[in-house]
Structure 1
Amino acid sequence: MKDLKVPKQYTIKKTPKETLENWYRLMKIGRALDEKAPNYLKQAIGWSYHAPYAGHDGIQLAIGQSFEKKKDHLYMYYRDMLTALAGGMTSEEIILNGISKATDPSSGGRHMSNHLAKPEWNMHSVSSATGNHTLHAVGTGRAIKYYGEKAVSISSQGESSVSEGYVYEAITGADKEELPVIFVVQDNGYGISVPKKDQTAQRKVANNFTGFKNLRIIHCNGKDVFDSMNAMAEAKRYAIEESKPVLLQANCVRMGSHSNSDDHLLYRSDAERNYVVEYDPLAKYRRLLLRYERFTEEELNKIDEEVKLEIKASHKAAMAAPDPDPASIFDHVFSDPYVSEKYPEGLHNEEGEKTKFITALNETLKAEFRNNPDTFIWGQDMANKDKGGIFNVSKGMQAEFGEKRVFNGPIAEDFILGTANGMSRYHEKIRVVVEGAEFADYFWPAMEQYVDTSHDLWRSNGKFSPNVTIRLASGGYIGGGMYHSQNIEGSLAAIPGVRIVYPSFADDAAGLLRTSIRSEGLTMFMEPKALYQDPKAATVVPDDFEVPFGKARIRREGSDLTILTYGNTTHLSLDAAKKLAEEGIADVEVIDLRSLIPLDEETILNSIKKTNKVLVVHEDKVFGGFGGELSALINEKGFEYLDAPIKRVGSPFTPVGFNRILEQAILPNTQRIYTAAKELIEY
């Protein structure tokens, strides 16, 4: 939708003097901090990253003044210092962030300086990946629309971030879903040192989106206070009244270098640098106040002096604030899990009819959706008539819970996860379940969002927990080949902040899924798809069964050898153990880990104390697989109990082939586990 005329609510003549004074004061405080920030680095006090905003003053003032705390939602980028001030943060809070103090409201010194936030006001914490928060803003916009609130979600960013694929996905998604999201693009013509002409063919990047059906595009002069205020007011009105997205492009100038690690003298001419200084928005605003006789020179000078005193006092207070405690690094790595009172060990003794793995998942999802009406699920192929996901795990859910709680996501894995992150920010009662990809192997496009979401809790110093469960159909034994039959848990385990669970039987699948959904924080729920319909994985499943995180399950007790396993290879290991017992070779204990992160170290070590030998078995590649971590753990904490080297069985260091002959040559089987176990027994 092309730019329409923007009504002029604010003019130099009609705007109340009190408002004009407030704007001037905010702009002076912001500019004073903007210019003072590099001095902290020179004095080795902090602020080692600073992206000056000078030249963006008009639009940043407008964003902050338009934001209604605890109602609207604001996602700022690293240059949004004046936006934060205009939205209500104090100069002391800005300095606390800049010098990374423990009382920094943005992150307690955990995140880079200039990454400003106040989650309790809905000023959200964002990562350093440029533009990635657009997806979060869309997810929040989805929640605003669902709950019927008259509010907006605002994403603020530079024009170069629009080159990122996930930004296009965010805008596309907001357009398709007709969400009240305002994407503010602060265009200063450069992405660090890369000029805009090297980023896009359009002189104005917003014009790349003119063909979008529901998106309104507004252009404004981001250097001018009044034009920016009018543009933001109209953008907010339109987004709320029409429940449709707005792309607001603000033309700015960057008066300095990109940041204190950049030197614009290396790529900008003298003429260009002089030009941008001439268009200083603060100087222009001051001239207007004097020219139209809204203020006298004396009145403005008085404000200038008051600002100097405020900055001095804020500096003194911030310098006296405590530094972060080194012991706090382990705080807020993981969110609080749901604690089971009835099944503290994740075990049950119920008898009756067995339930298939896939049915256990389906029934648990439905039960949790009934239990908490603020639970949502989406993904690819999730809700098309009778279809519920590529494997029909969510079959029947849309029919029961409606298309607003159960719906299709686009073929864009980072959009699926990024909007889950954003929707969960709306309220802590919300629980989101997503099929992160149709197959686990397709999850890689979502990795940037996965990494970002993994440290949201830690980065925000415990102020925001993304309450999201990611379901992925994982593993092989189906003849799927690459992108359909591989495992990724070994790679994911290296990223802190995410629980990873991998059930092997229907009851554990139900119990772990229930715990995942009810818990705070991010959980990766891996489903061995070869077991969905397999009778071997079917068990009795209590209606309310719960399995705590970090509790392994001894599937077969033994005294001669311990096998540590999970997923598909649990069944192969049980078969191998049975064969060894039948042949009178060994009595093998098989431990189904169920939970990889956190890990049940106690059960593992107690078993090794008893058997003195251990075989680690998993479907993933041996090299780089999760078994390497298990081996290291045992070596460090249980070496004295071992009577033989730790042995591992898994896939070779190669992709999984499509032809069944190749797949069988690659994936572990009962015979390979049997042979490895026998070699250990005979050692």
Structure 2
Amino acid sequence: MKSNVKEIYKIKTAEKDTLLKWYYLLKLGRSLDDRAPNYLKQAIGWSYHAPAAGHDAIQLAIGQNFDRSKDHLFPYYRDLQTCVSAGMTAEEIIYNGISKDADVAGGGRHMSNHFAKPAWNIHNVSSCTGNHTLHATGIARAIKNYKSKGVAISSQGESSVSEGYVYEAINGASNEQLPVVFVFQDNGYGISVPKKDQTANRKVAHNFEGLKNLRILYCNGKDVFDSMNTMAEAVKWAAEEQKPVIVHANCVRIHSHSNSDRHELYRDKAELNYVQEYDPIAKFRRMLIRYERATEEELNGIDEEVKAEVKKAHKAGLAAAQPAPESIYDFVYAPAYVPQKYPDGLHNEQGDPKKLIEALNSTLKEEFRRNPDTYIWGQDMANKDKGGIFNVSKGMQQEFGHQRVFNAPIAEDYIMGTANGMSRFNKDIRIVVEGAEFADYFWPAMEQFVETTHEYWRTKGQYSPNITVRLASGGYIGGGLYHSQNIEGALTTFPGVRVVYPSYADDAAGLLRTAIRSEGMTLFLEPKALYNSPKAATPIPEEFEVPYGKARTRREGTDLTIVTYGNTTHMCVEAADALYKEGKGNIEVIDLRSLIPLDKESILESIKKTSKLMVVHEDKVFSGFGGEVAATIAEVGFQYLDAPIKRIGSTFTPVGFNRILEAATLPNTQKIKDAAVELLAY
């Protein structure tokens, strides 16, 4: 049902200067949009271009209702006109299109037609269509928490609404009552897939009509005034009511989906003629003349002004510098916190030992007291006396309140995606999330995890997601599938995230403190079998810190180096002690603590002494992280080795639930001991 929005703008009463400004913006956007394919034909760039033609009216309205002093805009790849309307210049559009270093979105690091200006709160959005709805929801949470004026505006095509994380975002915004405007630009197609193949409802916004706290507005996205009135009403309502709004705008797609698509293969001539007739700019021009709001001469003058501006921008674009090849190494990782009190992550504390779970809980509380802009959420995080499935966050909501410590829906993508969004609001914000109750359940969040790993690089250092992702990892608990897997072998393949895996309580505290205080994202893997284990308990100095990329020698030795981390660290020490007592060798055990960055220097120094290396971890041997350690050392330290590098870990099978099956799969002290004897005898 069409919403009864208040008509603010009417052609008969609108100020002439406003109408002419709108016409100028529409012509500028269309001129740039029409020019884009020529760059590809001339091999200059703009190798991806999704035309905005046919979406002009709703995009003009989005941009005109965006206030960069307080709002946050998340445009999608077809939003050229939106960004022009929001104030981006012709030069900035062309710099992005032909991927020049001057591109304000990210210096040519991101795909063309992904326009952004982070300095103006026009956010750099990924190619993963629709995923920015979660980011908009996250930043809307911050807007509400900090009682800031403004709203988040998320724009997308109607077909991308089919993505599950879009539903998660809108459901979450409805549940949390957040000031976010979701704009669906409905042109009837997802590339070549017609709307009827996407959803049973003719209008995809109908799918959300049952959600509480959500308002839905429908408009003619081809009409400037209907679009302008609807967007104005949506932004005003979201800001005043602090609740989400969907704006469903009917548009037409005049051209192909992109320059790699041929729409004549799936659209007939009648349809192609129809969409041309409904050109929003042509309609707006006719209205201006018909209602005597402008003359032909005035509009022709604007056309010439736009032509000159685009020509000037074109020359600037061609003259602009290309990104330097060596710049690929810049902004991969945001600045890490550098420990001052414990620069090597070592201590001589002799106090009472604390369990690993106590170390995590107390460190979280200490960091929350230190920085009032620290937040934590996840599943089962806070309900009466419970604090996480393992009680790591026990007592935190009682001390720090519901705004800073709260439960998330069972939607791992939502947990990760809103962390990405909320951290954009303020550089002081630090977010800790339990990405899933068990590491094995993290896979639904992988799209958002991958997205977040390259935010800092993609924006050329303009945005750093300051997030610590906690995951209870590993087996030895009789958990079986989805409760006993190690996933670091997969997650360490992505540049842009630091990965740590402590084995003892003091290192858990020190690494967590460093992770929370650092900029950028850290994956914090916790060996859950050691949460309450006495062998992982240690004394912990006050404000203990452990730097990234600094391993710890757990046992000195001369005959063999074992590199390990997590649960298997204790088994390696046990095996080494047993073999020493049996007179079979003196083994050095190195606990990596940090997987990325990797302390290869400590490993090299050890093998210079021992001449032999064994890598042990709980994860599968095949494609496990140990393979990277072995390959790295083989490349840079081969001359120091007197034997092949040996790897010990899980079998290349899932982990069974029955304890007999689990024991057959996972490494243990005896398996490590047997392998060490074999390597010592080489």
Q: What SS is found at the alignment partner of 1:449?
A: helix
| CA-to-aligned-CA distance 1:66-107 (integer Å, 9 cap, x gap) | 111131000010000000011110000000000000110011
**Does structure 1 residue 140 correspond to structure 2 residue 139?**
yes
Number of the residue aligned with 2:220: 221
C-alpha distance in 2, partners of 1:152/1:221?
A: 22
SS in 2 for 1:173: helix
Q: Secondary structure at the match of 2:7?
A: coil
What does residue range 346-361 of structure 1 map to in structure 2 within 5 Å? 346-361=345-360
Q: Per-residue deviation at 1:200?
A: 0.6
Deviations 1:527-561 (A, max 9, x none): 00000000000001112001000000001111110
Partner of residue 315, structure 2: 316
SS in 1 for 2:376: strand
Counterparts of residues 529-540 of structure 1 (less than 5 Å): 529-540=528-539
The alpha-carbon deviation at position 65 of structure 1 amounts to 0.7
Is the 1:631–1:646 contact (alpha carbons within 8 Å) kept by the matching residues of 2?
Answer: yes
Q: How many angstroms apart in 2 are the aligned matches of 1:642 and 1:547?
A: 30
| Partner deviation per Cα, 1:196-242 (whole Å, 9 max, x = no partner) | 00101111110111111110000001011110010000001110111
Instruction: Decide whether the 8 Å contact of 1:3 with 1:216 is kept in 2.
Output: no
Q: Note the 1:81-230 alignment, pairs <5 A.
A: 81-230=80-229
1:234-313 aligned at under 5 Å gives the runs 234-313=233-312
* Inter-partner Cα distance in structure 1 for 2:247 and 2:293: 29
CA distance in 2, matches of 1:453, 1:600: 24
Residues in 2 aligned to 1:613 and 1:52: alpha-carbon distance in whole angstroms: 60
Conserved 8 A contact 1:76-1:155: yes
Give distance in 1, aligned partners of 2:199 and 2:24: 37
Aligned-partner Cα distance in 2 for 1:628–1:15: 68
Question: Which 5+ residue runs of structure 1 have no aligned equivalent?
Answer: none
Name the structure 1 match of 2:466: 467
Q: What secondary structure, in the 3-state scheme, does the structure 2 residue paired with 1:306 have?
A: helix
d(CA) in 2 for partners of 1:21, 1:459: 36
Residue 407 of structure 1: SS of its match in structure 2? strand
CA distance 1:3–1:405, shift in 2 (3 Å)? farther
Superposed CA offset, 1:44-63 (max 9, x none)? 00000000010001100000
Distance 1:235 1:635 in 2: 60
Match of 1:8 in 2: 7
Identify the residue that residue 542 of structure 1 maps to in structure 2: 541
C-alpha separation in 2, matches of 1:208 and 1:226: 26
Contact 2:433 2:468 in 1 (8 A): yes
Q: Distance in 1 between matches of 2:313 and 2:3?
A: 43
Aligned to 2:674: 675
Query: How many equivalent pairs are there?
Result: 682
Q: Which amino acid aligns with 1:647?
A: K
2:630 counterpart SS class: helix
Counterpart Cα distance in 2 of 1:347 and 1:192 = 56
**Amino acid in the other structure paired with 1:681:** L
CA distance in 2, matches of 1:426, 1:543: 31
The answer to whether the 8 A contact 1:379-1:436 is kept is yes
CA deviations on 1:549-595 (whole Å, 9 max, x unpaired) are 00000011111100000000000000000001111111110000000
Q: Counterpart in 1 of 2:568?
A: 569
* 2:363/2:512 contact within 8 Å kept: yes
Amino acid corresponding to residue 461 of structure 2 in structure 1: G
Please tell me whether residue 427 in structure 1 is matched to residue 426 in structure 2.
yes
Does the 8 Å CA contact 1:92/1:317 hold for their aligned counterparts?
yes
After superposition, give the CA deviation of every residue in 1:338-364 in whole Å (9 maximum; x if it has no partner). 011111111111111011000000000
In structure 1, distance between residues paired with 2:178 and 2:313: 39
Q: Is the 8 A contact 2:2 2:219 kept in 1?
A: no
Q: Specify the code of the residue in structure 2 equivalent to 1:342.
A: K
Match of 2:496 in 1: 497
The aligned amino acid for 2:495 is: P
Instruction: Tell me, in whole angstroms, the C-alpha distance in 1 between the residues paired with 2:296 and 2:43.
Output: 37
Partner amino acid for 1:579? A
* Contact 1:70–1:120 (8 Å) recurs in 2: no
1:479 pairs with 2:475: no
**How much has 1:4 moved relative to structure 2?**
3.4
What is the match of residue 35 of structure 2? 36
User: 1:415-454 to 2 correspondence within 5 Å?
Assistant: 415-454=414-453
Q: Does structure 2 retain, via aligned residues, the 8 Å contact 1:553–1:594?
A: yes
Tell me, in whole angstroms, the C-alpha distance in 1 between the residues paired with 2:240 and 2:33.
36
After TM superposition, list the pairs within 5 Å mapping 1:516-531 onto structure 2. 516-531=515-530
* Shift in Å, 1:18: 1.1
Give the structure 2 partner of residue 22 of structure 1.
21
2:579 aligns with 580
TM-score of the superposed pair, with normalisation by structure 1:
0.99
User: How many Å separate the matches in 2 of 1:397 and 1:202?
Assistant: 44
Asked if structure 2 preserves the Cα contact closer than 8 Å seen for 1:7 and 1:234, the reply is yes
The CA deviation string for residues 227-285 of structure 1, in whole angstroms up to 9 with x for no partner, is 00100000011101111100000000000000000000000000000000000000000
1-structure distance, mates of 2:493, 2:68: 37
Cα distance in 1 for partners of 2:324, 2:348 equals: 46
After the TM superposition, which parts of structure 1 deviate over 3 Å for at least 4 consecutive aligned residues?
none
Contact 1:49 1:259 in 2 (8 A): yes
Determine if the alignment matches structure 1 residue 645 to structure 2 residue 644: yes
Does the 8 Å contact 1:375/1:405 carry over to 2? yes
Measured in 2, the distance between the counterparts of 1:241 and 1:3 equals: 21
Alignment of 1:334-373 (within 5 A): 334-373=333-372
Are 1:628 and 2:631 matched, yes or no? no
- Tell me which amino acid in the other structure corresponds to 2:206: N
Output the CA distance in 2 between the equivalents of 1:508 and 1:467.
21
| Aligned residues of 1:356 and 1:533 also touching (Cα < 8 A) | yes
* 1:395 alignment partner in structure 2: 394
2:493 & 2:419 partners in 1: Cα distance?
22
TM-score, length-normalised on structure 2? 1.00
**Structure 1 residue 459 displacement after superposition:** 0.7
User: Counterpart of 1:566 in structure 2: which amino acid?
Assistant: Y
Whole-angstrom CA distance in 2 between matches of 1:235 and 1:448: 29
Q: Does 1:79 align with 2:74?
A: no
- What amino acid is the match of 1:327? E
Q: Distance in 1 between matches of 2:129 and 2:529?
A: 39
1:120 is displaced (CA, Å) by: 1.1
- 8 A contact 2:3–2:218 mirrored in 1: no
Q: Write the distance in 2 (CA, Å) between the matches of 1:3 and 1:339.
A: 57
Paired letter, 2:133:
T
Is it true that 1:330 corresponds to 2:329 in the alignment?
A: yes
Aligned counterparts of 2:445 and 2:568: Cα–Cα separation in 1: 27
Partner secondary structure for residue 249 of structure 1: strand
* Matched position secondary structure for 2:499: strand
Kept after mapping to 2: 8 A contact 1:502/1:527: yes
Q: In the aligned structure 2, how far is the partner of 1:233 from the partner of 1:619?
A: 56
Q: CA–CA distance in 1 between the matches of 2:470 and 2:49? A: 38
Q: Please tell me whether the aligned partners of residues 222 and 250 of structure 1 are also in contact (alpha carbons under 8 angstroms).
A: yes
**Secondary structure of the structure 1 residue equivalent to 2:614:** strand
Task: Give the secondary-structure state (helix, strand or coil) at the position aligned to 2:485.
Answer: coil
Q: Is the 8 A contact 1:383 1:407 kept in 2?
A: yes
Deviation for aligned residue 1:3: 5.3
Deviations 1:267-315 (A, max 9, x none): 0000000000000000000011101111111111111101100000000
In structure 2, C-alpha distance between the alignment counterparts of 1:107 and 1:196, rounded to whole Å: 33
Tell me if structure 1 keeps the 8 A contact 2:180–2:238: yes
* Alignment check: 8 A CA contact 2:356 2:505 kept: yes
Letter in structure 1 aligned against 2:571: L
1:50 counterpart residue number: 49
Provide the rounded CA distance (Å) in 2 between the counterparts of 1:113 and 1:447: 24
Per-residue CA distance 1:502-534 (angstroms, 9 max, x = gap): 000000000000000000001000000000000
Number of the residue aligned with 1:618: 617
